[in-house]
């Protein structure tokens, strides 16, 4: 008999994370974690990203203890302050003005939890992004074309947002998009779900 493929769940409603995880070619389901993302008093952006990644994974794992659950969160940091999703045009303009000509840290954390196996681990992958000096006309043109209002920092580096940047520094090229696949793959291997082993497989016995 073939060993059953581990049941994998992505604890996220983000289409960007879903598309990234699909690159590993492992079957998975998507479940909303319904997690309160309000920062705690005095919580640093890096700490916030790690806490929320683990909270999302645990929230879904509690409902599916036999499944391997992936949770992830990203928090941008400029001048020591967290920069979240703008949601509206005016906030996106303000964010890009603030980041113009600056180096911004994007903290992307990924957690993998398998409650039945007693496995719970989180890794944070930092990314340094240097924005070029942006004129207001550049900002307005970009936002009008791409409308990245669901992205922390108001820019999609995987598409036209790359034109706003001078440099990206990271050990994982997918971390800035929202799910660091190198770290995710390592955590999945440790949890017993090696992507190379299970890629393309069907769930079940």
Active centre residues (catalytic):
73
Q: How far apart are CA 162 and CA 179, in angstroms?
A: 18
CB 106: neighbour CB atoms within 10 A?
25
Question: Helix, strand, or coil here: 123?
Answer: strand
Degrees, nearest 5: CA angle 44-15-70? 60
Q: What are the percentages of helix, strand and coil residues in the chain, rounded to 5?
A: 35, 25, 40
Question: Mind spelling out the 3-state secondary structure of 137-176?
Answer: HHHHHHHHHHCCCCCCCCCCCCCHHHHHEEEEECCCCCHH
């Amino acid at each position: 008999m073939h060993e059953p493929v581990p049941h994998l769940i992505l604890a996220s409603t983000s289409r960007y994370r879903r598309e990234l995880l699909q690159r590993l070619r492992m079957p998975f389901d998507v479940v909303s974690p319904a997690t309160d993302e309000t920062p705690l008093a005095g919580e640093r952006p890096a700490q916030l990203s790690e806490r929320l990644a683990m909270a999302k994974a645990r929230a879904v794992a509690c409902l599916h203890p036999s499944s391997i659950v992936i949770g992830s969160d990203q928090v941008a940091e400029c001048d020591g302050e967290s920069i979240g999703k703008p949601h509206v045009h005016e906030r996106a303009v303000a964010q890009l003005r603030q980041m113009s000509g600056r180096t911004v840290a994007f903290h992307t954390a990924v957690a993998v939890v398998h409650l039945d196996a007693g496995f719970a681990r989180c890794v944070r992958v930092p990314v340094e992004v240097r924005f070029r000096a942006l004129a207001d006309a550049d900002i307005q043109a970009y936002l009008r074309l791409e409308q990245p209002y669901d992205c922390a920092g108001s820019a999609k580096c995987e598409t036209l947002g790359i034109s706003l940047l001078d440099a990206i520094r990271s050990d994982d090229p997918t971390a800035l998009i929202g799910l660091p696949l190198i770290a995710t793959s390592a955590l999945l291997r440790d949890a017993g779900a090696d992507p190379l082993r299970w890629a393309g497989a069907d769930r079940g016995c």
